[in-house]
Structure 1
């Protein structure tokens, strides 16, 4: 299965949350898509609830099934709370860090900037969206790309103090990944324990 490129509002309405960012249509139609969307009263099974949470996390971070499973395996082998570590690993992906720093307006746009070699990590071009950023790494815009309209538009008026684990330097158009984020600092509305229960079956 390739990466999802279909209608985003449809997916956001399915989960009832703006998982791809602000959505005007979702504000008006906050119910599932389809002709039975408004009348959906059917009770979802425990498995269905867990699966839905996993799908929500995958769509939110733009990760494919195999990548997600590999991250879960890595999280389950690490010391600590598996669900929390899973979210921290997702947050540490380069495309997500580029998005969190405000260099791109969405995670999909961030992934494109990374793939098109506009992003540098510690001064070196990295074009792998899933690259795991480590504490102390400096993520910035390549010198040639600093004048790109998509980047300057995204950075204009962006609140860089939003995320305590990141630090932005406006002069060099780069941000530092200070430390792995604590679960309470990650704003995504994901019940990670349900994902752990799903994979534990």
Structure 2
């Protein structure tokens, strides 16, 4: 049976991400970092919102497509440099995804919808944009937070938790509090939420 446009788009996003030069180890196995991240995004989105639209699923899968191609150190290592880097990345992710969607036959209106989601426009105003942001935050909290917290002082961890919490919806908060955290990090989360 011939794969659908959606299946082909997902396969092409994955193919691009398998080229990641960075790896991330899980249970002793090295994975291309952004391929693993994109699969975690899909898994978390469908746990969080089982009826997520195909457009939202594509945006989640392509959230970090080819992220390694624009290194953080190409921009000043301050807040302004960080924000500029993030904006440039979003634009690249959206353009690469738009090219894939064109290639598999999606129309301009559909491509614009996915691009809008990847560019994180209208968070808090657009339901799908908010779902995507919640998913990004949940993936961070579930898969990367413990490692992040181990490398940074508590004050920085609390600050990041507060910023993450602000971006999330009430439904996202509820899902976040169901995740498993170490006792130390659970205590940091409580401090962040009380702050």
State the TM bucket, normalised to the shorter chain. under 0.3
More strand by share: 1
Q: TM-score, normalised by structure 1?
A: 0.26
